[in-house]
Structure 1
Amino acid sequence: MIGTWLRELGPRDEDAVTRSVLPPPRLAEFVTRVGAGPSGWAVELGRAMAVHITEEIPELALDGIVQELRRGCEAVALGLVAALSDQRDFTVADVPEVFLGTAEVVSRGVGIEHMLRAINVGHSFAVHEVLDSCEQLLSGDERFTAMRRVCELMLKVVDELTADMAREFGQVQQAWQASAAAARMEVVQSILHGDRVPPDRAARVLGYDLTRQHLAVVAWADDPAPVWSGRLEEAALDLLRAAGCTSTLVVPVGDRRVWAWGSGVRRPPGLPTHDTPQPRPGVRIAAGLPAPSLDGFRDSHFQALEAARVGMMSHGRPSGARWLFDYGELDLVAMLSYRVDMAREFVRRELGALAGPGESTATVRTTLKCYLDEERSLNGAAERLHVARNTVAYRVQRAEQLRGREIGVRRMQLQAALTLVEELGEAVLSPESTPSPDSQDRTSRPAR
């Protein structure tokens, strides 16, 4: 039986559950066990834990690692609430999501000390939040009993996670160090960090000519379910070959992501405009812009990472319909969302009530964006949206009312804000401060 104080837990954001990064079936298990309110509270706790951990341990704020960290934090927070509600012990087997990112952490050269510290930092943060809730919702002996139970359970969580993380990390690290991919990643990381790498050694280890024009891509799995790593490599290679690349380099980054480059001799590589080979379901690909020599190898890769960051936040297209994220199309969104918190504030400042919730407001935003894209042509927008000309005129007028300003005022900023909303959706509309799903490693790019 769920205790009274747990039943009273609820998120600040009523849509918190829908913003979970766990797979819907997995989340549904927790909602069934503890209810929507406590589940939403746990999702927010997990998100806040992830933000706090990356602030305290910037070594974990790397693309690909930070979203796995948030997924693990959410699973732990939900597992904790479930254990408290069921009066059961917490077991690591209940939260396998914690270990999904271990292979990527190892391949990126992040040490075990950072992972173990993350457990302790997250534990301290979570204890503070849970005990605060106990104090607010309970009194007298009930409060004392609940707090004692929380402390006992969370000490057990730390003990089990620490032991299992050390064991898992050691096993993955041993396998990684014995692989050929480890040697390639070492050279690639040195190049990306701007270190001097002897050209003959780089060519020998990578089997790839760094003097050509390069097109970089990042392929990843958008579902935490196990993915055959060869599927990601296959998708990256198919796209590079379709782009005209005759030479390729693929480096796995853990089990759920690959970095890849391609180059051509006769002509610079470029993404195909049609007949692009679509990967299997669950695979997403981001691409940079073609660029020459060693600098191009780096630049195209960093652009692909930025496009991947946008892709992981993107809610602008129907789920499952968007699989390719081209930096050439997303450069503006990538730059404007480099700091998601500032992008969110910019959107709300420029759109006012037009950034509000609800389907009707979203329809008005979409119409205004189309109207501006069509150079303020009512006929052009009506044709694209398949509505009457007068409907477009009415919605544009309504947009001005909601915004509180005419659309000609700060026109460029207005269109930029609408572009951010179209691509990123709730990531820039929600007033709740959330971590970027794919924080770029800001220190990895060398100054030139």
Structure 2
Amino acid sequence: MAALRSREASGVPLAWLIEAVTAGFVDADVSTLLDEREERTARAALPPSFFGWLAAEARVAQAIVSDQNEGDSRVPYREVERAAARMLLEFAYRLMHDDPDRHFLDLPFRFAAPAARLGIESSLVIQAVRVTERRWVDQLLTAAGERAGDIAHSVLSASAAIYDAVVDSFVTDYVVAQAQLDGEMLATKRALIDALLKPGVRDAKGFDDLGIDLSGHHVAVVLWHPTAGIGPHLDTAARQIGMSAFANAVTVVPGDDRTLWIWLTFADDPPPAVLERVRSIPRDPGRVGVAIGPVARGVQGFRRSHLLAREYAAVAGRLPPGIAPDIADTERMSYLSLLLRDPERAEWFVATELGALATGAVSDRENRETLRLYLETGQSLADTAERLRIHRNTVVYRLKRIEQAIGRPIASRRHELYAAALLAHLLEQSES
């Protein structure tokens, strides 16, 4: 006890406690646990028996983590032991100086990044730290004997400070590592998808890392923001689509600064009700545009559905709010996307089909709109008049003027004339 009293008298408040808790240990080699400078500094301040305790507790911490991870050989156990040793050394320093808030080591724990990459739950690591910290507290208070009540506050304060410091350090590093890993995985996924979307790819060989069954049925979705980049509006819409579809797999990657690309993959052909749920997700149409490709199967279907969804999105994005459909899908967009694929040729087509009606004159615009609605309503004079809010006889008069201008009966080329009138309307709206 003379040694204990001399250390206590020397101004190191709880040095006696360190000697008491390590009394049953002998010196040990800790060169694999501490850096050379750390070990040299520690040996100048702590008794040799402490290093036997340090080595033993590092092994116990490793065993705790191993048990929690069912002996997974991928876990970086050496770094776990090193982290436990540094944590215990920091604990001892703070106890000896009775200063729970003072930092003696930088505590750079190197197991956060490996844990994130291996998919080890951060909660398991934090739980292991808690179990280890509680174990040390119990040993220290037991070693203190009758004096446990006198030093309990100091021990618990130092313990809590160490726990907070370690957890804060680990969580920060883990989050950073997880973000880096997510970025790497996303870049890898995007590179695989870019390769898969190239023409000529016909089988799934080499694309296993995507984690989806490419032989299944795919529905591609493109989300975009009319004015801003990828943000919470698109992320929320993507989550809602994924939850509403009940797909076997949901794949999401950024398309560019303003779009998200999504694939819903199903083992079987999805029923119409599934796609209707996707179309019905709650959203703000002014902030989130949605384009949906057709259901298509296999590797080529993965590509086809996506390219059509992108085409629908591109066309819908050019249309004015009053013309653009709420959901740009095959039913609403296949015809428009085909017509507007080449704007210059679309203008040529309008000029060829409508002839003298293809001018900017007010009367010609009125006649084109009358022609479009007349054909759109199944050549109903009453419905056309109602939609234009004019008299039925005015519709009849305009139709005669239209046939005179184009030089042939409307019925002779009604499909071509409807396409031309619709194109003229869309091009005019886009320009305005």
Q: 1:218 to 1:404 in 2, by over 3 A?
A: same
**Counterparts of 2:400 and 2:267, CA distance in 1:** 54
| 1:134-161 Cα shifts (integer Å, max 9, x gaps) | xxxxxxxxxxxxxxxxxxxxxxxxxxxx
Pair 1:179 & 2:184 matched? yes
1:230, distance to aligned residue in structure 2 (A): 3.9
Q: 1:313 to 1:254 in 2, by over 3 A?
A: closer
- Provide the secondary structure at the position in 2 that maps to 1:272: helix
- Provide the secondary structure at the position in 2 that maps to 1:425: helix
Pair 1:309 & 2:318 matched? no
1:256 to 237, 246, 258: 258
TM-score by length of 2: 0.50
Alignment of 1:264-413 (within 5 A): 264-265=266-267, 267-268=269-270, 270=272, 271-272=275-276, 276-280=280-284, 281-315=286-320, 317-318=321-322, 322-357=325-360, 360-413=363-416
- Provide the secondary structure at the position in 2 that maps to 1:350: helix
TM-score by length of 1: 0.49
Q: 1:309 to 1:269 in 2, by over 3 A?
A: farther
Aligned to 1:425: 428
1:426, distance to aligned residue in structure 2 (A): 4.8
Q: 1:242 to 1:373 in 2, by over 3 A?
A: farther
> Contact 1:370–1:381 at 8 Å: present in 2 too?
yes
Alignment of 1:155-174 (within 5 A): none
Q: Kindly tell me the number of residue pairs found equivalent between the two proteins.
A: 250
> Contact 1:306–1:334 at 8 Å: present in 2 too?
yes
Q: 1:203 to 1:384 in 2, by over 3 A?
A: farther
> Contact 1:283–1:323 at 8 Å: present in 2 too?
no
Q: 1:278 to 1:379 in 2, by over 3 A?
A: same
One-letter identity of the residue aligned with 2:283:
P
> Contact 1:220–1:284 at 8 Å: present in 2 too?
yes
Aligned to 2:60: none
Aligned to 1:188: 193
Tell me, which stretches of 5 or more residues in structure 1 are unaligned?
1-174, 431-448
Tell me, which stretches of 5 or more residues in structure 2 are unaligned?
1-179
1:177, distance to aligned residue in structure 2 (A): 11
Q: 1:273 to 1:393 in 2, by over 3 A?
A: farther
- Provide the secondary structure at the position in 2 that maps to 1:183: helix
- Provide the secondary structure at the position in 2 that maps to 1:215: strand
One-letter identity of the residue aligned with 1:207:
G
Aligned to 2:4: none
Q: What is the CA RMSD across the aligned residues, in angstroms?
A: 3.3
Higher relative contact order (CA 8 A, sep 6+): 1
**Counterparts of 2:246 and 2:328, CA distance in 1:** 18
**Counterparts of 2:279 and 2:312, CA distance in 1:** 21
| 1:43-71 Cα shifts (integer Å, max 9, x gaps) | xxxxxxxxxxxxxxxxxxxxxxxxxxxxx
- Provide the secondary structure at the position in 2 that maps to 1:410: helix
1:184, distance to aligned residue in structure 2 (A): 0.7
Aligned to 1:202: 207
> Contact 2:248–2:265 at 8 Å: present in 1 too?
yes
1:188, distance to aligned residue in structure 2 (A): 0.5
> Contact 1:286–1:326 at 8 Å: present in 2 too?
yes
One-letter identity of the residue aligned with 1:250:
V
1:303, distance to aligned residue in structure 2 (A): 0.9
1:238, distance to aligned residue in structure 2 (A): 2.9
1:278, distance to aligned residue in structure 2 (A): 4.2
Q: 1:291 to 1:331 in 2, by over 3 A?
A: same
Q: 1:309 to 1:254 in 2, by over 3 A?
A: closer
Alignment of 1:19-168 (within 5 A): none
**Counterparts of 1:242 and 1:424, CA distance in 2:** 36
One-letter identity of the residue aligned with 1:214:
H
> Contact 2:372–2:418 at 8 Å: present in 1 too?
yes
One-letter identity of the residue aligned with 1:331:
S
Pair 1:247 & 2:249 matched? yes
